[in-house]
Amino acid sequence: MRSVLAATIGGVVLLSSACSGDTETPADVVAGDASAAGSQLAASEWLMHGLDDAETRFSPLDQINAGTVARLGVVWHYDTRSLRGLEATPLIRDGVLYATTSWSNAFAVDAVTGQELWYWDSAADRVRGARACCDVVNRGVALHEDKIFVGVVDGRLVALDAATGEPVWDVQTTDVSQPYTITGAPRVVDGKVIIGNGGAEFGVRGYVSAYDPETGALLWRTWTVPGDPSLPFESAALEAAASTWNGRWWELGGGGTVWDGMAYDPEADLLYVGTGNGSPWNQAIRSPGGGDNLYLSSILALDVESGEIEWHYQTTPGDNWDYTAVQPLLLADLTIDGRERQTILQAPKNGFFYVLDRLSGELISAEPYVGITWAKGFDRTTGRPIETAQARYGNEITLLSPGPGGGHNWHPMSFNPATGLVYIPAQQSSFPYKNDPDFVATSRENLGVAIVPPPGFPERAADAYEPGIGPTLPGANALLAWDPVSQAARWQVDLGNVPGGGTLTTAGNLVFQGRGDGLFVAYSADRGEKLWELDLGNGILAPPVTFAIDGRQYVSVLVGWGSTAGLFGGYPSDQYKAEGRLYTFALDGARDFEPVRGIPRPGLTAIPSDASEEQIANGAAIYGERCYMCHGFGAVGGGQIADLRYSTAETYATIDTIVRGGAYEQLGMPRFDFLTEQDTAALRAFLLAQRQALIASQ
């Protein structure tokens, strides 16, 4: 039951290179002659976030293949010192593996032995952690010559010496008075470090920036939504965009943050970025009277020299639902209707799979890849979705699919040119949208949508459900093998209530995917047959990578539970405070290793409480507004964040100093100084009631 809830609403709020030019990159292989794996060395490393500029996550390596994968086992593991969600894509160069962990910490290990070369603590400001909507995760580093680059959750971009992990430069990329965070991986393209940020759940204005890799100097910055129109616009594009907004959006931030997906076409010299949802979510508050609200929920093609917007395509005009288009972007050359097309592909949150001409931005096709109810079709002549009557919700609860978790979130998809398929970690999500009649802009959560307390939610939600369009997934999660030409699933694996992680595909006719229940699985890429699996003991969200050194192919994946699914829904297994690990596999590695295990949950004894029913209800309401984002609905314990039903008697007794006084601020627990002593007493009453309910259920 808990996992059903987690999967369904697992996104309530969600719910974010270095190619030196002298080697042939995998991008060249994919785009051109697949047989000319040419430079074996280049093909054997993983130098960029998505493997190549096109972010295909397709490796030409095939020593591990559909015929040999049964022999795959563990050759080493590395303990990451992280107890929070792990989402990073490791990079591998010259026999060294670089990755990041929670709180934007980074490490380098020998890629053959797993021996630590260095570990860098970002010293991220813990107070900023609660501004990361969906855990203090980080999706990885970028490499360029002798440096690696890390975006830090508190808004810094840091260059480290790749050999030592020592900082070379450290710049603040955000206004620290605003609730910006960074969870995404930087990219290095055209000799520039590109970094965006997040924060649209809290009220910010989105942008993406380019920095000089040597000095950290800002080269350009492109805002994604217009600012105060009484001030000069930063560009003609933003001036034009301002006519698609109403009201005083700039006072609310507007949103459109660039927190994850990017890709680069070196021939066209275009950098592609995806933009996020509106801030606040509710358009009636953000832009009263409507409008498309450019460039929210859009794919933008930027001139990499200047950052100017060359073309845009908006996936969700007038976003009202947290339908970001920051999901991974992938470049592929496809034959469509007899024509060779240079395309860009995306499966954004709104549930449509988009195929665009990446040179012009022309829409080639858009079809739903999951079941959706916010739109009833797609108008090819206008290039816009056709909304259903209920999509623009009002004061009544309206259940819509997808929810803010999207049909697909940040989890990377991959494209295999041999099968022509895109492997999407998809989900069937929904959410009860409703106006927040009491909305007041704050620097905290700024949704404009009333979060309906969970008790009774699934039942009420079921009443409101109407079948929509698109292929409704049998379970809440699935691995979809999507044909971008015919716009249909060729095969799919039903994951039920278990969230699926990012994917990797290889020339060995394989697709790898980790799962929230700790299984790491290999499927045949053409047919989706399960060929191999291993229980790694802790939830997996991060995408696997593969590389080869001295003639041996390896696969690596970060294993660590948390992120949105963990924060809101608790644990998919019995892992509690299990340390994250990096596992590396090869043929004939060990199958009988000892997976990391969490600590046993402590036994619970009742703590007497004389709270009234009214106090408990008040506490539940405050909890439902302020606490669930990190501690989970119903205080089920988010990810590795404290399960508040298991707190000590002393913690309950001192709750006021923690919540209002900020006693744990340096651990990442924010100070809620606007609450009252009565409020914290009510919270204690609610938490003790939840603890008692757990005891009664055991």
Q: Any idea which residue has 């395309």 for tokens? A: 343
DSSP bridge partners of 79:
581
- Spot the catalytic one: 62, 292, 319, 322: 322
What is the three-class DSSP state of 374?
A: coil
C-alpha closest to that of 504 among 466, 464, 544, 454: 544
Please calculate the CA angle 61-64-70 and round it to the nearest 5 degrees. 165
Would you say 277 or 287 has its CB closer to Ca ion? 277
Active site residue 228: no
What is the closest distance, in whole angstroms, from the C-beta atom of residue 201 to Ca ion in the complex? 5
Would you say 235 or 435 has its CB closer to Ca ion? 435
**What's the N-to-C CA distance of the chain in angstroms?**
16
Would you say 409 or 556 has its CB closer to Ca ion? 409
**Is the CB of residue 213 less than 8 Å from the CB of residue 157?**
no
Would you say 277 or 680 has its CB closer to Ca ion? 277
Indicate the DSSP class of residue 697. Answer: H
Indicate the DSSP class of residue 222. Answer: E
What is the three-class DSSP state of 36?
A: coil
Cis peptide before 295 (omega within 30 of 0): yes
Phi first, then psi: what are they for 668, rounded to 5°?
Answer: 110, 0
Residue 367 CA to its chain's centroid (Å): 22
> Where are the strands (E) in 414-541, listed by range?
414-416, 421-427, 431-433, 477-483, 488-496, 500-506, 510-515, 519-524, 530-535
What is the closest distance, in whole angstroms, from the C-beta atom of residue 133 to Ca ion in the complex? 6
What is the three-class DSSP state of 346?
A: strand
Cis peptide before 26 (omega within 30 of 0): no
- The token duo for 369 is 């890849």
Q: Any idea which residue has 């000069």 for tokens? A: 232
What is the closest distance, in whole angstroms, from the C-beta atom of residue 2 to Ca ion in the complex? 23
Would you say 200 or 534 has its CB closer to Ca ion? 200
Would you say 102 or 277 has its CB closer to Ca ion? 277
> Alpha carbon of 75 to those of 20, 25, 157, 584: distances in Å?
30, 27, 33, 6
Strands 431-433 and 398-400: antiparallel
> Where are the strands (E) in 349-412, listed by range?
352-357, 363-368, 375-379, 384-387, 398-400
Would you say 279 or 506 has its CB closer to Ca ion? 279
> Alpha carbon of 351 to those of 13, 259, 316, 348, 393: distances in Å?
17, 19, 10, 6, 18
DSSP 547-594: EEETTEEEEEEEE---HHHHHHH--SSS-SSPPPEEEEEEET-BSS--
Which ranges constitute the DSSP H helices of 26-73?
26-31, 40-44
Residues in touch with Ca ion (CB under 5 A):
277, 322
What is the closest distance, in whole angstroms, from the C-beta atom of residue 349 to Ca ion in the complex? 8
What is the closest distance, in whole angstroms, from the C-beta atom of residue 241 to Ca ion in the complex? 19
What is the closest distance, in whole angstroms, from the C-beta atom of residue 48 to Ca ion in the complex? 25
Would you say 6 or 548 has its CB closer to Ca ion? 6
Would you say 44 or 181 has its CB closer to Ca ion? 181
What is the closest distance, in whole angstroms, from the C-beta atom of residue 323 to Ca ion in the complex? 9
- The token duo for 444 is 């905290």
What is the closest distance, in whole angstroms, from the C-beta atom of residue 229 to Ca ion in the complex? 25
What is the closest distance, in whole angstroms, from the C-beta atom of residue 171 to Ca ion in the complex? 25
Indicate the DSSP class of residue 127. Answer: G
Would you say 14 or 304 has its CB closer to Ca ion? 14
What is the closest distance, in whole angstroms, from the C-beta atom of residue 134 to Ca ion in the complex? 8
Q: At what angle do helices 2-9 and 457-464 cross, to 10 degrees?
A: 50
Amino acid identity, position 448: G
Which ranges constitute the DSSP H helices of 154-282?
236-242
The Cα–Cα gap between 585 and 652 comes to 44
Which residues are the active-site residues? Answer: 322
